[in-house]
Amino acid sequence: MGLRTGLVEMASLVLAQVERAVAAWDDVDPVAAAEVAAGDDRIDDRCLDLDQKVFSLQLLEAPVASDLRLLHVGLIAVIALERVGDLAVSIAKLAGSVPPEGAVPSVQSLIRRMSARSVDSLAQAVQAIARGDADLGEEAVDAANGVRLMLDDVLVAAAEAPDSPETRTWATAAVLVGRHLERVANNAAELGGRVRFLVSGELFARAPRPAVASDELP
């Protein structure tokens, strides 16, 4: 299995974990949450396999400059994907910790949108690495920036929620879920921004945070 293929397969596992974790949170389903936690071992095993592949290629072969860039970006991607797997577990752990009667529909809707956007942006970023497509990498960065903005809407909606003990507890956990999803998107932006370096050797520079209003998002 090549490194590019391995990254795509690992990303598929990780993104499925994020989707299951958010579904468990949304449904307040501790059984589904436990399945996400149990599935993290598979992510860790895949991470170890890809780590060893990168180091083997570095030590046993004579990679040219373009191959070295792939190994560099690939190792960063492996670490980022493992980190996202851990974020999925953190979201899942919150699923059974809140009273369902405290749920705020407007916040739930925002979190579902954040989840879909963060998953899409990370999938785009990994595909961009696999294909060597710098334009797709930039699209992933743009999508990830949208997730960052959506967190502001979650914070506002949570602050405006009814003032009851159940709702306060639920809203506090919801903000944590939103922050975890923002970190998923941050990893997508990190990887998407490195694709141009992978393709051309152009040095990576982090883009500034977006300044557009979140109501401009689709």
Give the chain's domain count: 1
Task: Choose the weakest-confidence range: 69-83, 95-109, 142-156, 197-211.
Answer: 197-211
Give residue 207's pLDDT: 55
Please tell me the pTM assigned to this model: 0.86
Give residue 53's pLDDT: 81
Query: For residue 83, is pLDDT > 90?
Result: yes
Q: What is the pLDDT of residues 147-202, one digit of tens each?
A: 988 999 999 999 998 888 888 889 999 999 999 999 999 999 999 999 999 988 87
| Placement of tokens 């860790």 in the chain | 44
Phi/psi of residue 110, nearest 5 degrees: -65, -40
* Mean pLDDT for the stretch of residues 36-51: 91
Report which of 34, 50, 210, 204 is spatially closest to residue 130, judged by C-alpha positions: 50
Task: Choose the weakest-confidence range: 78-87, 95-104, 126-135, 197-206.
Answer: 197-206
| Placement of tokens 């369902």 in the chain | 100
* Range 12-33 burial, b when 16+ CB lie within 10 A, else e: eebbebbebbbbbbbebbeebb
Give residue 184's pLDDT: 97
DSSP annotation string for 171-192: HHHHHHHHHHHHHHHHHHHHHH
Q: How far apart are CA 81 and CA 88, in angstroms?
A: 11
Query: For residue 210, is pLDDT > 60?
Result: no
Token pair, residue 37, equals 């936690």
Give residue 16's pLDDT: 95
Contact predicate 94/25, CB 8 Å: yes
Range of the domain at 78: 3-216
Average confidence score pLDDT of the chain: 87
Report which of 164, 177, 144 is spatially closest to residue 18, judged by C-alpha positions: 177
| Placement of tokens 């797709």 in the chain | 136
Give residue 100's pLDDT: 82
39-43, 47-51, 184-188 — most confident range = 184-188
For residue 147, give the 3-state DSSP assignment.
helix
Q: How far apart are CA 18 and CA 92, in angstroms?
A: 9
Q: What percent of the chain has pLDDT over 90?
A: 62
Q: What percent of the chain has pLDDT over 70?
A: 89
Split at pLDDT 50, 70, 90, the class of 62 is low
* CATH classification at residue 18: 1.20.58.220
Largest Cα–Cα separation, the chain? 63
Task: Choose the weakest-confidence range: 50-54, 75-79, 118-122.
Answer: 50-54
